[in-house]
Structure 1
Amino acid sequence: MKPFMTENFLLDTSQAKTLYAMGAGNMPIIDFHNHLSGKELYENRPYENLTQVWLGHDHYKWRLLRSCGVDEKYVTGDAGDKEKYDRWAETVSRAYGNPLYHWTHLELWRYFGIDEPLTVESKDRIWGRCCHMLKAMPPRTLVEGQNVKILCTTNDPAEDLKYHKLLSGWKVQVLPTFRPDRALNIQKEDFPNYIQNLMEAAGKASSEKKAPAIKDILDALECRLDDFVRLGCRLSDHSLEVGVFASCSHKEADAILSKRLKQGSVSVLEHVKYQTFMLLSLAGMFKKRKMTMQLHIGALRNISASGFLSLGADAGLDAVSDRAFASELAELLDAMEKGAGLPRTIIYPLNPGAWTMAAAMAPCFCRGKTMAAHVQMGAAWWFNDHEAGITRQLEEYACSASLENFVGMVTDSRSLLSFPRHEYFRRVLCRLLGRWMNTGKIPEDYKTSQKIVEAVCYKNAENMLKNEKQED
């Protein structure tokens, strides 16, 4: 019987152990997609206890607690921090097979040096030790201790990026990512107010309170995009939830916008048309600036209406859509390629049933590009960044392209304790390559395999953020 979570955790062949020991665990981390708070990092206030840093922002954990019948009082409610921690310890200690079981113990190990399982019996000991250590571990210390080199946060175009400016002297680069979803989600109730805020943030608000046209919104977005780029932004991010593509002319988009601002509603088709026109226009801006565009597709948001009313967004009330979107995605990428330009693009289908489709589609849009994997399928994320999901995603990628060109793992997290997920990914990658060696599927060539590991775990992300090779 193997002991739990040793230095050879997940590494089940001698080849995997050798490969991981050659440096996978020591490479710096580039987390190019997360939802961390620049304000929290800048203010750098120590946490009072483990609950605040561990459970305060983590809807992954909230979902598990609810699924095990824990009352909301102990999830996001008014229970004391120790009470919430106790419920978490009691819950996760029995969650065998859930990635949170592994992540929880990796986090205890890597941040606090605790290598005993979290159980009902050990929870008070662990609480005491972690709370004591946290007094000397403010947010930036937590990040630095995990060998993080670059963080790319997710930011709305109307944000002033004050804290990114203030963090510019920190040893860890904190770069904004341009996420204009609120400017594209024309069906949302707050859309008119948001557009006014965007125009003001870009210094383009009309003194006559005149309703903006498409060109005005695009000008405002481009103005803010340049502000982002000046602070090191190299990525955009988009969540496509209602649809992916519906052909739309400039005239149609203007008419849809006017209808929304004057009449208060548009149809689902009109939403997708407007979104498509805006995405195609933005893609040209990203291409011009040699940025990478990320498309997250397939989330069902806030599916419990009563839960959303009570808890709000990002509270663990989302799920996976099974809507087919292959033809729409192909049309979107094709329209970008034929139009203002197709920037380097990473496609993240949330439904693993779409992985083969996305992996197969990506190389169709790499013709004539000077950077490898100009369009590629992104990492397993959200409901899929577990042992089985990561393995399957790597296999799918390798079947349709060259694994060496994969840009690698992201945490997609709001938690400052999430960085050991990179280690988790690296162990799964080394295990996969080790198994291939062990079964004769690839040569026992550590030099080549090590180059693949280095590329996938660090160098490809580093090169993407430099983006020096993307063609004009």
Structure 2
Amino acid sequence: MKAFLDQDFLLLSETAKKLYHDYASSLPIIDYHNHLIPEQIANNTKFENLSQVWLYGDHYKWRAMRTHGISEQYITGDASDREKFKKWAETVPYTMRNPLYHWTHLELQRYFGITEQLNADSADRIFDQTTEQLKDASRSVHGLLNKMNVEVVCTTDDPLDNLEYHQAFAKKNQSFRMLPAFRPDKAMQADDVNSLNAYIDKLESVADSNISDFKGYLDAIKSRHDYFAKHGGTISDHGLEQIYVSDYTESEVSNIFLKIRQRLHLTTEEVLKFKSAMLVYFAQWDHEKGWVQQFHLGALRNNNARMLKQNGPDTGWDSIGDFVQGKALSAFFNKLDSNDQLAKTIIYNLNPADNELFATMIGNFNDGSVRGKMQFGSAWWFLDQKDGMTKQINALSNMGLLSCMVGMLTDSRSFLSFPRHEYFRRLLCNIFAEDIENGELPNDLPWVGKLVSDICYHNAKEYFNF
């Protein structure tokens, strides 16, 4: 019987162990998509206790606690940090076979050297031990990132952000880089005319412009795209249910924009035309600058209206959606490719039923101009766990070239989430090793080890030009 979370965790053969320990474990981390707070990175924040660095903003844990019957007072409410931690500790033993059980104990081991299992009995002891360790400089934000050998972190930023913390951090001599990613979702949300107008009003101030027509709007948003590029941005990101590809004319979109500014009701068709046009413009700008564009597709968000009203978005009320993806992806990429305006692209899938669809779609637009130009991104959100990662890796292997994949990312709001890269690397090595053990791949460890190293690190470094 193997010990829980020992050095060979998830590595089920000697070949897997050799691949991981010799070719993957020591590689730096390029985390090209996350939701970390730039201010905390720039200021090298020190957290007072484990709840602050671990539970604040982590809706994965919040969902588990709610399912276990924990009151909202101990999740997003006014309970003390210790009380919240104890309620999480009480929940942890009941998360067995959920990825949270592995992540929790991996993070305790990797960041704090704690191998004791977290439960109600150990809660106070572990809270005190970690609180003491967090006082040390080695457990500041920079210390936590350095401990995981992080080389690059790319945050997710609204076009209106002045990037002051990115600029301040860039002036410091640090062992890793923090770069912004352009996330313009709010700039195209014509579903809510009032919110979009409020956004445009803020854009006027930020871009120092008077936005009265659609051309003025595009010019102002484009100036923010340019601003991000000036301050190190080379990546965009979109979180959408699906790609929008309604046919439109420039005059139609211009008239729709005037209706938006007049706060008039838009039809469903008009909303889709506006979103479709904006997506094309964003993609064209990305191509002009040689950026990488990312599309996170398939989330059905804000399902619980009562709790959304109480807690706001991104607090644990989202799920996998069943949107139709194929035709829209094809039409969008084809429109851009036909005009030689298709940037390097990563598409992330949230519905496992669409894995093979996504894996084959990228092959339609890989044109030989860039190695792995079109990427089927790593398993995302609800799927970034053992089964989900394995299925994504297998779909990509069967339908495309796994060897060109740019690897894993955290997509996290927590500075303790970086062992997810380790988790992915261990699974990847075990999958290759299983094929070697079964005689399905040659026992050529130097070559397979090179492929593993490329997927874990080198492909991303080349792809993003970091």
- 1:192 pairs, out of 181, 194, 197, with 197
What letter matches 2:158 in structure 1?
D
1:201 aligns with 2:206: yes
- Paired residues for 1:435-450 under 5 Å: 435-450=434-449
Q: CA deviation at 1:268?
A: 2.8
Q: Deviations over 1:86-107 (max 9, x none)?
A: 1101101221110010000010
Q: Is the 8 A contact 1:240 1:297 kept in 2?
A: yes
Aligned-residue RMSD, C-alpha: 1.3
SS of residue paired to 2:151: strand
| Structure 1 pair 353–72 and aligned structure 2 pair: CA distance change class (3 A) | same
Q: Is the 8 A contact 1:243 1:272 kept in 2?
A: no
Q: CA deviation at 1:220?
A: 1.4
What is the distance in 2 between the residues matched to 1:244 and 1:438?
45
What is the distance in 1 between the residues matched to 2:117 and 2:14?
26
Q: Which residue of 1 aligns with 2:451?
A: 452
- 1:165 pairs, out of 156, 164, 167, with 167
What is the distance in 1 between the residues matched to 2:350 and 2:230?
31
SS of residue paired to 1:26: coil
What is the distance in 1 between the residues matched to 2:61 and 2:44?
24
Q: Is the 8 A contact 1:38 1:164 kept in 2?
A: yes
Q: Deviations over 1:176-198 (max 9, x none)?
A: 00111111111134110101212
- Paired residues for 1:281-300 under 5 Å: 281-300=281-300
1:65 aligns with 2:65: yes
1:397 aligns with 2:396: yes
Count of aligned pairs: 461
Q: Deviations over 1:306-350 (max 9, x none)?
A: 111000011011111101121111101111112360001111121
Q: Which residue of 2 aligns with 1:52?
A: 52
What is the distance in 2 between the residues matched to 1:442 and 1:244?
41
- Paired residues for 1:20-59 under 5 Å: 20-59=20-59
What is the distance in 2 between the residues matched to 1:263 and 1:156?
23
1:12 aligns with 2:9: no
What is the distance in 2 between the residues matched to 1:242 and 1:20?
36
What is the distance in 1 between the residues matched to 2:205 and 2:250?
23
Q: Which residue of 1 aligns with 2:253?
A: 253
What is the distance in 2 between the residues matched to 1:134 and 1:268?
51
Q: Is the 8 A contact 1:154 1:179 kept in 2?
A: yes
Q: Is the 8 A contact 2:157 2:180 kept in 1?
A: yes
Q: Deviations over 1:9-68 (max 9, x none)?
A: 000111111101113111000000000111111222311111111101211111111111
TM-score normalised to the size of structure 1?
Answer: 0.95
What letter matches 2:262 in structure 1?
K
| Identical aligned residues as a percent | 39
What is the distance in 1 between the residues matched to 2:89 and 2:288?
50
What is the distance in 1 between the residues matched to 2:320 and 2:427?
24
| Structure 1 pair 100–132 and aligned structure 2 pair: CA distance change class (3 A) | same
What is the distance in 2 between the residues matched to 1:389 and 1:115?
26
Q: Is the 8 A contact 1:365 1:375 kept in 2?
A: yes
Q: CA deviation at 1:433?
A: 0.5
Q: Deviations over 1:229-252 (max 9, x none)?
A: 122111100112265321222111
Q: Is the 8 A contact 2:242 2:297 kept in 1?
A: no
1:181 aligns with 2:157: no
Gaps of 5+ in 2: none
Of residues 163-172 and 387-396 in structure 1, the stretch that sits farther from structure 2 once superposed is 163-172
Q: CA deviation at 1:145?
A: 1.2
| Structure 1 pair 242–346 and aligned structure 2 pair: CA distance change class (3 A) | closer
What is the distance in 2 between the residues matched to 1:84 and 1:179?
32
TM-score normalised to the size of structure 2?
Answer: 0.96
What is the distance in 1 between the residues matched to 2:273 and 2:140?
46
Of residues 435-444 and 253-262 in structure 1, the stretch that sits farther from structure 2 once superposed is 253-262
What letter matches 2:377 in structure 1?
G
Q: Is the 8 A contact 1:187 1:265 kept in 2?
A: no
What letter matches 1:95 in structure 2?
T
1:408 aligns with 2:401: no
Q: CA deviation at 1:437?
A: 0.8
What is the distance in 2 between the residues matched to 1:176 and 1:217?
22
Gaps of 5+ in 1: 468-472
What is the distance in 2 between the residues matched to 1:281 and 1:198?
17
What letter matches 1:178 in structure 2?
F
- Paired residues for 1:210-225 under 5 Å: 211-225=211-225
- Paired residues for 1:29-428 under 5 Å: 29-136=29-136, 137-168=139-170, 169=172, 170-188=174-192, 189-203=194-208, 205-206=209-210, 211-241=211-241, 244-339=244-339, 341-367=341-367, 369-428=368-427
Q: Which residue of 1 aligns with 2:433?
A: 434
Q: Is the 8 A contact 1:362 1:375 kept in 2?
A: yes
What is the distance in 2 between the residues matched to 1:297 and 1:269?
21
What is the distance in 2 between the residues matched to 1:370 and 1:66?
49
Following TM superposition, the consecutive aligned residue runs of length 4 or more in structure 1 with deviations greater than 6 angstroms are none
Q: Is the 8 A contact 2:243 2:329 kept in 1?
A: no
SS of residue paired to 1:167: helix
Q: Deviations over 1:246-303 (max 9, x none)?
A: 1222111112212222143323332221111111112111111111100111111111
What is the distance in 1 between the residues matched to 2:419 and 2:325?
33
What is the distance in 1 between the residues matched to 2:12 and 2:295?
34
SS of residue paired to 2:423: helix
What is the distance in 1 between the residues matched to 2:410 and 2:460?
13
What is the distance in 2 between the residues matched to 1:77 and 1:157?
31
What is the distance in 2 between the residues matched to 1:427 and 1:116?
22
What is the distance in 1 between the residues matched to 2:351 and 2:267?
25
What is the distance in 2 between the residues matched to 1:43 and 1:240?
31
What is the distance in 1 between the residues matched to 2:242 and 2:153?
29
- Paired residues for 1:454-469 under 5 Å: 454-466=453-465
What is the distance in 2 between the residues matched to 1:263 and 1:218?
19
Q: Deviations over 1:380-425 (max 9, x none)?
A: 0100000010011000011111111011111101101100110011
Q: Which residue of 2 aligns with 1:470?
A: none
SS of residue paired to 2:79: coil
What letter matches 2:437 in structure 1?
N
SS of residue paired to 2:375: strand
Q: Is the 8 A contact 1:244 1:325 kept in 2?
A: no
What is the distance in 2 between the residues matched to 1:214 and 1:399?
44
